[in-house]
Amino acid sequence: MTRRPHDFDALYAADVPPPWEIGRPQPALLALVRRSVLADPVLDVGCGTGVLALAVARAGHRVVGVDAAAHAISRARERVAEAILEGPGSVRFEVADARGLDHLDVRPGTVLDSGLLHSLDDAGRAAYVAGLEAICGPGALVAVLAMSVAAGLGWGTTSEVLQGAFAGPAWTSTAVSDAEIVARPAEDELHLPALLLTTRRA
Ligand SMILES: C[S@@+](CC[C@H](N)C(=O)[O-])C[C@H]1O[C@@H](n2cnc3c(N)ncnc32)[C@H](O)[C@@H]1O
C-alpha cells in the first residue's frame, strides 16, 4: 500500500496527530546520528514536522528538511521559530517531492529518511534514488529507516527491496539491519519491526 503526498497533507491538517508523530525523532535514526560522523549539509527527506532535522541542527549541523506535505513544512517552520538554536547549527524547510530531488539546490553530505521510502511505489522509489544519485557527492552517507513487512500492517518493505534500490555502481557499503519504528496510533506507543539501510555514494 502506498500513500500519495496529498493524503499525507490531509493527515497533517487533521485535528489528531498522525501516528508517526511521537514528539521526538525515531530512536533508531537518532542513535545512528549520534554514533556517526555526519558531513554537512544534512538533508532530511520526508522530514514531516521537522523533529529530527531540528535535533540534528541542535547537534551543530547545517540541515535542510523537505517534505511534500505543505502542512508539515508549515509546522516545521513554526518549530524553528520556537526553537533556540545555539552554536553553528542551522535548519531550513522546503516543500519538495522526493521523486524530483535533482531539482533541489542542495548537495548533501548526509541524507536521512525517517519513514518516507516505504510509502513510495516502485516507480517513485526509483525516481527518489535517481535523485539522490544526482545530488549526493562521493562518500555521502544515506540512512533510511523503513517499516518492515514483518510489522504485519499489510504494507512495508523488505531487505531485498532496500538492497535492490541502492544496488549498482553508484552506491557502496550498502547494509541493512533490523531496527524499530516507534508509532503512537493512540495513547500507547508501539514498537514495530523496521529496517535501517545505510549506504554511501560511490
Ligand atoms: C511516516 S511520515 C514520517 C515523517 C517524519 N520523517 C517523521 O519521522 O516524523 C512520512 C513523510 O514522508 C512524506 N512524504 C511522502 N511522500 C513524499 C514525497 N513523494 N515527497 C516528499 N515527502 C513525502 C510525508 O508527507 C510524511 O511527512
The Cα 11–Cα 195 span in angstroms is 24
Establish whether residue 104 lines the binding site of ligand 1, counting it when its CB lies within 6 angstroms of any ligand atom: no
The Cα 39–Cα 108 span in angstroms is 8
Return phi, psi of residue 96, to 5°: -160, 150
CATH assignment of the domain containing 100: 3.40.50.150
Cβ-in-10-Å burial (0-12, 13-18, 19+) of 79 comes to: middle
Q: What is the dihedral of CA 56, 182, 98, 174, to 10 degrees?
A: 80
pTM over 0.95: yes
Establish whether residue 5 lines the binding site of ligand 1, counting it when its CB lies within 6 angstroms of any ligand atom: yes
Number of domains forming the structure of the chain: 1
Report the pLDDT value the prediction gives residue 5, as an integer from 0 to 100: 66
Range of the domain at 54: 5-201
Is residue 2's pLDDT more than 70? no
- pLDDT tens digits along 86-99: 778 999 999 999 99
- pLDDT tens digits along 155-166: 999 999 999 999
The Cα 129–Cα 198 span in angstroms is 13
Q: What atom of ligand 1 comes closest to residue 124's alpha carbon?
A: 19
Query: 117 falls in which pLDDT band (50, 70, 90)?
Result: very high
- pLDDT tens digits along 127-137: 999 999 999 99
Report the pLDDT value the prediction gives residue 149, as an integer from 0 to 100: 97
Q: Which three cell numbers stand for residue 9?
A: 497533507
The Cα 147–Cα 100 span in angstroms is 22
Report the pLDDT value the prediction gives residue 3, as an integer from 0 to 100: 62
Establish whether residue 119 lines the binding site of ligand 1, counting it when its CB lies within 6 angstroms of any ligand atom: yes
Report the pLDDT value the prediction gives residue 127, as an integer from 0 to 100: 98
Check residues 186 and 24 and name the one with the higher pLDDT.
24
Residue 95 CA to ligand 1 centre (angstroms) = 11
Is residue 85's pLDDT more than 80? no
Establish whether residue 194 lines the binding site of ligand 1, counting it when its CB lies within 6 angstroms of any ligand atom: no
SS (H, E, C) the chain: CCCCHHHHHHHHHCCCCCCCCCCCCCHHHHHHHHHCCCCCCEEEECCCCCHHHHHHHHCCCEEEEEECCHHHHHHHHHHHHHCCCCCCCEEEEEECCHHHHHHCCCCCCEEEEECCHHHCCHHHHHHHHHHHHHHCCCCCEEEEEEEEHHHCCCCCECHHHHHHHCCCCCEEEEEEEEEEEEECCCCCCEEEEEEEEEEEEC
- pLDDT tens digits along 66-75: 999 999 999 9
Mean pLDDT of 143-166: 97
Average pLDDT, rounded, for the chain: 95
- pLDDT tens digits along 96-109: 999 999 999 999 99
Report the pLDDT value the prediction gives residue 1, as an integer from 0 to 100: 46
- pLDDT tens digits along 164-186: 999 989 999 999 999 999 999 98
Q: Which residue type sits at 25?
A: P
